[in-house]
Amino acid sequence: MQKKINQITIIGTGLIGSSLGLALKRKKISNSIVGIDKSKVNLSNAIKNQSIDESRLKIDFRIQESDIIFLCTPVSLIDPITRKLIPFIKKNTIITDVGSVKNCFDEETIKKSKNFFHIVPGHPIAGTEHSGSKFAEEDLFKNKWCIITPLNNNKKVINIICNIWKKIGMKISIMSVHEHDKIMSITSHLPHLIAFTIVGTAFNIDIKKKKELINFSAGGFRDFTRIGSSDSKMWTDIFIKNKKFILKTLDSFFDDIDILRKCIISNDYQKIYNLLKRTKEIRKKILIQEETKRKN
Amino acid sequence: MQKKINQITIIGTGLIGSSLGLALKRKKISNSIVGIDKSKVNLSNAIKNQSIDESRLKIDFRIQESDIIFLCTPVSLIDPITRKLIPFIKKNTIITDVGSVKNCFDEETIKKSKNFFHIVPGHPIAGTEHSGSKFAEEDLFKNKWCIITPLNNNKKVINIICNIWKKIGMKISIMSVHEHDKIMSITSHLPHLIAFTIVGTAFNIDIKKKKELINFSAGGFRDFTRIGSSDSKMWTDIFIKNKKFILKTLDSFFDDIDILRKCIISNDYQKIYNLLKRTKEIRKKILIQEETKRKN
């Protein structure tokens, strides 16, 4: 059994960071939890809802008390903050993160970590459309998937991080950074890109009943507005950081939708029907798979 | 108060038709309800769950007993079936429908109706991803919107149809055929077009963990597969019937997503952020509006 950790620091006490704090505390994983954020509001809410024990506005020498540091910031800050941490951390500190893009540590930073500290990139697939520690949820991670994308073969260190996520209820999947970023570009980043766009498209269209648009949106649009109201800063970062895969996936999507578009133009009933039916069959397979997994 | 209707016929006893039957019966709106369908399975399930009182496999002289006929078929069949009904119906029969495209009656059919029978196009915005009468739900229409797109100014007849939908729990909005088809192209048809496409895109992409794709799809993709598993025949019809507005809306969407795409390519952080933030503000406005409405 793993011994109790003395101190964990969470940098970025937003929705994910403070929900993580709550879950860690419930499972008594660490003797104390420190929260660092430049937002006083986030910190004071995190103290208020007891997701952290101590709040700090800056990174300094005190962080050497921490065995593990969770970076729960927008992805563009993960590497700069890691570099900022290096002068202050003790040897063998584990730095991990929760970013939605796993290509978020620079090569140079990874090089610097060797023989000094550990980097274990992680991505708990959890969240809501809200942001900020005031929306923290103890059960946010429960029964969800956490993807770990190890940079080396240090199983002991990787296991420490995996075990923490497991203890707070997550299922673990290990894959490469490359594989993660490709998968997320289609399952999460493209849907968000589309959702953010379509809400704008809807409100640019010339219709009289614009104000009532949402009333008539039971079939699809309402879900899109929900997805499309996620944190703007976080998603700007993701779109830029995972640019390579997002642009490729977007191109494939454009190609596919253009096939459907051309069929509509030429009234090709049979071909449209076949394309649509295929989606249904894919979904059916997925559902059967999920069912089988649950039973096993 | 409206007197009880003697007989209503529902043509197409699928999910919508049979749910309508159940709701009409609960509210005792008609003395008897006849279901017509070419699918024996749909008919026998509809009889079994008591959404209709009598089942028929074809349209014939017996339909002259009905005061109102609801066409609950895929949109491409609405006009052909109406024409097929003309030799059998009695004077002043009201023919109405539930199609997702309201430009579904031919000019010639509308002409033929004058001084003989009434056409009142309608669209209850309700449904699930399931099809068939075995999924019938008595409360499917409750608190949802029904759009009526009158072809003339015959208020008495329009009110009869509006009142039926109101009695089974729907809120009514009256607008033109044109306005309806434009609004639906963005709030429902485009989201479905995208959802049907993206599921295919995902499964064309070269990834090792394809089987596990769905596990990592909490953020967006899972909702898309649900929307994208709706009835293929129904949606093929919709895409072809509302071609004019769908293609226009798709073009606007392409233009808008291309703006975002170009910003990603050029790393234009500020512009992406502004575009994303705008969506959030639109959604906020929508929510405030809904809240105000609920309170009033």
ipTM of the complex: 0.86
pLDDT score for A204: 79
Under 8 Å CB-to-CB from A156, ≥6 apart: which residues?
none
Nearest CB to A220; choose among B179, B192, B239:
B192
In this structure, which amino acid lies at residue A289? Q
Q: Which residues of B are less than 8 Å from A177 in CB distance?
A: none
DSSP annotation of B253 reads: H
In this structure, which amino acid lies at residue B78? I
- Contact status, residue B212 vs residue A173, Cβ threshold 8 Å: yes
Give the mutation candidate from B224, B242, B265 for the A interface (greatest A CB count, under 10 A): B224
pLDDT score for A293: 61
Tens of pLDDT along chain A (296 residues) come to 457 899 999 999 999 999 999 999 999 999 999 999 999 999 999 999 999 999 999 999 999 999 999 999 999 999 999 999 999 999 999 999 999 999 999 999 999 999 899 999 999 998 877 889 999 999 999 999 999 999 999 999 999 999 999 999 999 999 999 999 999 999 899 999 998 898 888 877 777 766 667 777 765 777 777 777 778 888 999 999 999 999 999 999 999 999 999 999 999 999 999 999 888 777 777 667 666 666 65
Give the mutation candidate from B77, B257, B274, B291 for the A interface (greatest A CB count, under 10 A): B257
Nearest to B239 by CA among A262, A282, A230, A183: A262
Nearest CB to B261; choose among A205, A212, A250:
A250
pLDDT score for A1: 46
Give the mutation candidate from B140, B196, B259 for the A interface (greatest A CB count, under 10 A): B196
The shortest C-alpha distance from A143 to chain B (Å) reads 11
Alpha helices in A13-138 (DSSP H): 15-26, 40-48, 78-85, 107-113
State the Cα–Cα distance between residues B176 and A125, nearest whole angstrom. 44
Strands (E), chain A: 5-11, 30-36, 54-56, 68-71, 94-97, 118-120, 122-124, 145-148, 171-174
Confidence of residue B284 (pLDDT cuts 50, 70, 90): confident
Nearest CB to A228; choose among B246, B252, B283:
B283
Under 8 Å CB-to-CB from B291, ≥6 apart: which residues?
none
The shortest C-alpha distance from B104 to chain A (Å) reads 16
Residues in chain B: 296
- Contact status, residue A80 vs residue A105, Cβ threshold 8 Å: no
Structure tokens at A44: 């004071």
Domains of chain A: 5-175 (3.40.50.720), 179-265 (1.10.3660.10)
Nearest CB to B235; choose among A192, A209, A276:
A276
- Give percent of chain B above pLDDT 70: 94
Token look-up 């992805």 returns A75
